């Protein structure tokens, strides 16, 4: 479904700051809102834009934004935000929050991630004033993490592509318009000269609440606590489980291989990312090492997240090549 009328607002306000890191959430959210509105108008969508310049408190800000949306006639409400956790050089990724719009949130998250972000996927949130207060279908975009060096670098280099990709989902493809240069992350990035581990062979998927192939209490080989790698996990432990394997966020890109700890120690697994390349599609994507496996008896060399398998466009027992660590020279 595409939309003919949309209201888009930036998160927080001029006097009510949001996340501040390498970049500033309020400033960047306004840039995305304005560019996204322009892209949507080129697709024939009626767009209203709102940025809050008057509020001086969080409660006033939330009320002002919701009111601005509800006074307009539209089919969809969109709020643009940026995420934050802690300063890191690692990629952290993008996600889209929703209450009722799960399918749309999934599509938009994938669209943003198409430039090379880790896809943290759609997340249902029933505690947010914007999603609860707007009277039309609504989604809240978390474009990337303001305190991740990798995310910010990718955001800056792919800004136009990000806005274009979101607009394609919401307003339809812009036929006849020159598209931004396609992302290099999903073609074939150059090999890393720092690679210590490489394996090629069949692949399967693992992890997440729906993986009944692991026990409810099963842990991971070198991650012992959510805080060791918070970007990999769901915000809450799935009901009826206690282990980290079932708490993995299936939309995050992660990978398990039979790592040689003598060459790549367990501690190193948390310091770098791997590159997973699908032979069938030629798509390459970065992924966090998350576990050791699969067992040699399976005949496979890697297990990856369900989300990564979908984004690579492959199925169980297709061939991949996993390289670790992957560092863009």
Which CATH number do you get for residue 238? 2.40.40.10
Residues 167 and 251 in one domain: no
- Tens-of-pLDDT digits for all 329 residues of the chain? 899 999 999 999 999 999 999 999 999 999 999 999 999 999 999 999 999 999 999 999 999 999 999 999 999 999 999 999 988 888 999 999 999 999 999 999 999 999 999 999 999 999 999 999 999 999 999 999 999 999 999 999 899 999 999 999 999 876 555 555 544 444 444 444 468 999 999 999 999 999 999 999 999 999 999 999 988 998 889 999 999 999 999 988 999 999 999 999 988 888 889 999 999 888 888 899 999 999 989 999 999 999 899 888 899 999 999 999 987 65
Q: Side by side, which strands form the sheet with 94-98?
A: 46-52, 5-13, 76-83, 138-145, 94-98, 119-124
- Domain contains 178: no
- Domain contains 43: yes
Q: Please say whether the beta carbons of 294 and 304 come within 8 A.
A: no
- Half-sphere exposure (CA, 13 Å, Cβ side) for 1? 10
Residues 289 and 201 in one domain: yes
- Domain contains 185: no
Residues 9 and 145 in one domain: yes
Domain tally, the chain: 2
- Tell me which residue of 135, 272, 253, 129 sits closest to 195, measured CA to CA: 272
Residues 278 and 223 in one domain: yes
Q: Please say whether the beta carbons of 216 and 310 come within 8 A.
A: no
- Domain contains 176: no
CB-based contacts of 259: which residues, under 8 Å, 6+ apart?
197, 269, 289, 292, 324
* Biggest CA pair distance of the chain: 63
Q: What is the dihedral angle through the alpha carbons of 13, 17, 20, 23, rounded to the nearest 10 degrees?
A: 30
- Domain contains 141: yes
Residues 164 and 206 in one domain: no
Please give the residue range of the domain that contains residue 121: 5-171
Residues 161 and 207 in one domain: no
pLDDT score for 256: 96
Residues 202 and 161 in one domain: no
pLDDT score for 191: 46
Cis peptide before 294 (omega within 30 of 0): yes
Residues 241 and 159 in one domain: no
Residues 225 and 160 in one domain: no
Residues 238 and 300 in one domain: yes
Residues 145 and 231 in one domain: no
Residues 107 and 218 in one domain: no
Q: For 35, phi and psi rounded to 5 degrees?
A: -70, -40
- Alpha-carbon distance 17 to 11, whole Å? 9
């Amino acid at each position: 479904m595409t939309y003919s009328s949309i209201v888009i607002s930036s998160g927080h306000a001029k006097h009510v700051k949001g996340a501040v890191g390498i970049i500033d959430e309020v400033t960047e959210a306004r840039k995305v809102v304005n560019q996204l509105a322009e892209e949507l108008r080129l697709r024939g969508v009626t767009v209203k834009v709102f940025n809050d310049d008057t509020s001086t408190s969080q409660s006033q800000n939330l009320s002002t934004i919701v009111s601005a949306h509800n006074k307009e006639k539209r089919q969809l409400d969109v709020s643009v935000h940026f995420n934050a956790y802690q300063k890191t050089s690692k990629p952290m990724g993008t996600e889209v929050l929703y209450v009722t719009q799960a399918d749309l949130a999934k599509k938009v998250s994938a669209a943003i991630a198409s430039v090379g972000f880790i896809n943290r996927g759609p997340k249902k949130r029933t505690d947010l004033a914007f999603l609860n207060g707007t009277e039309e279908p609504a989604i809240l975009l978390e474009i990337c993490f303001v305190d991740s060096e990798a995310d910010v670098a990718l955001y800056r280099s792919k800004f136009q592509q990000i806005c274009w990709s979101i607009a394609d989902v919401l307003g339809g493809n812009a036929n006849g318009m020159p598209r931004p240069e396609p992302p290099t992350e999903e073609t074939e990035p150059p090999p890393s000269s720092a690679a210590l581990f490489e394996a090629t062979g069949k692949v399967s998927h693992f992890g997440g609440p729906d993986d009944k192939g692991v026990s409810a209490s099963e842990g991971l080989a070198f991650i012992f606590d959510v805080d060791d790698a918070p970007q990999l996990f769901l915000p809450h432990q799935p009901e009826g489980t206690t282990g980290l394997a079932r708490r993995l966020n299936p939309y995050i890109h992660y990978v398990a291989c039979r790592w040689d700890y003598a060459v790549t120690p367990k501690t190193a697994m948390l310091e770098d990312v791997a590159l997973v390349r699908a032979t069938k599609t030629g798509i390459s994507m970065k992924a966090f090492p998350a576990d050791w496996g699969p067992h040699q008896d399976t005949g496979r060399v890697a297990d990856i997240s369900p989300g990564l398998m979908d984004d690579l466009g492959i199925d169980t027992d297709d061939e991949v090549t996993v390289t670790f660590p992957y560092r863009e020279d």
